[in-house]
């Protein structure tokens, strides 16, 4: 993937703050962004990841005029996510997971999803989230994986792509 314009630039997401639909292209049109596709808002691991980035990375991004954007795949749990102050950037919803699908972000399904719960990496992250005091729930689609992208302005050149594998 060379640019987001060539893949998901025309895809529309809904801004949580005012419920307005915007093309993803508008998120990176004037400044670079860190774009995080979250698994789900109730996910304990996603909450911990969002909180860690909000505390450690967002101040540096803000200082350098770099946007910090989170995208969820459903509205379920977004209020709790916001009220828990897990993410300090702007939040959007990708209704129907269109961008997730175009980007080819893996969907685990039941069998792989259940086995991943017992993987070493999940256990490590669970231990970390407990230390952070972050809790979650099992509401919503827990089988869709996410990704983190660092995207340049104008045509959305992808400077860094980190899709989740598990």
Is pTM beyond 0.95? Reply is no
Q: Report how far residue 138's alpha carbon sits from residue 149's, in angstroms, rounded to the nearest whole number.
A: 25
Q: Report how far residue 100's alpha carbon sits from residue 39's, in angstroms, rounded to the nearest whole number.
A: 10
What is the structure's pLDDT at 123?
66
Q: Closest by alpha carbon to 91, among 44, 46, 124?
A: 46
Region of residue 127 (phi > 0: left; psi between -120 and 50: alpha; otherwise: beta)? alpha
Q: What's the CATH fold of domain 12-154?
A: Glutaredoxin (3.40.30)
Alpha helices in 37-83 (DSSP H): 44-56, 58-63, 78-83
Residues 6+ apart with CB under 8 A from 90: 15, 16, 17, 67, 68, 69, 70
Structure tokens at 164: 């989740």
Q: Report how far residue 162's alpha carbon sits from residue 160's, in angstroms, rounded to the nearest whole number.
A: 7
What is the structure's pLDDT at 63?
97
What is the structure's pLDDT at 1?
57
Length of the chain: 166
**Tens-digit pLDDT string for the chain (166 aa):** 578 988 998 999 999 999 999 999 999 999 999 999 998 899 888 899 999 999 999 999 999 999 999 999 999 999 999 999 999 999 999 999 999 999 999 887 555 545 555 567 666 766 777 887 888 877 877 789 999 999 999 889 999 999 887 7
- Count of other CB atoms within 10 angstroms of residue 161: 13
Q: Report how far residue 23's alpha carbon sits from residue 102's, in angstroms, rounded to the nearest whole number.
A: 14
Residue reference for tokens 């017992």: 118
Q: Report how far residue 133's alpha carbon sits from residue 58's, in angstroms, rounded to the nearest whole number.
A: 20
Q: Report how far residue 73's alpha carbon sits from residue 94's, in angstroms, rounded to the nearest whole number.
A: 5
């Amino acid at each position: 993937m060379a640019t987001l314009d060539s893949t998901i630039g025309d895809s529309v997401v809904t801004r949580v703050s005012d419920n307005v639909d915007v093309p993803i292209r508008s998120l990176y049109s004037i400044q670079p962004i860190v774009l995080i596709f979250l698994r789900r808002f109730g996910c304990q691991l996603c909450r911990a990841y969002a909180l860690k980035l909000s505390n450690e990375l967002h101040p540096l991004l803000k200082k350098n005029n770099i946007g910090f954007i989170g995208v969820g795949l459903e509205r379920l749990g977004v209020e709790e996510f916001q009220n828990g102050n897990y993410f300090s950037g702007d939040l959007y919803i990708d209704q129907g997971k269109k961008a997730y699908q175009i980007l080819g972000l893996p969907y685990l399904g039941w069998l792989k999803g259940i086995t991943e719960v017992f993987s070493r990496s999940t256990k490590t992250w669970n231990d970390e989230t407990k230390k952070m005091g972050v809790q979650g729930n099992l509401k919503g689609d827990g089988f869709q994986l996410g990704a983190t992208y660092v995207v340049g302005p104008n045509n959305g050149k992808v400077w860094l792509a980190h899709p989740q594998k598990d």
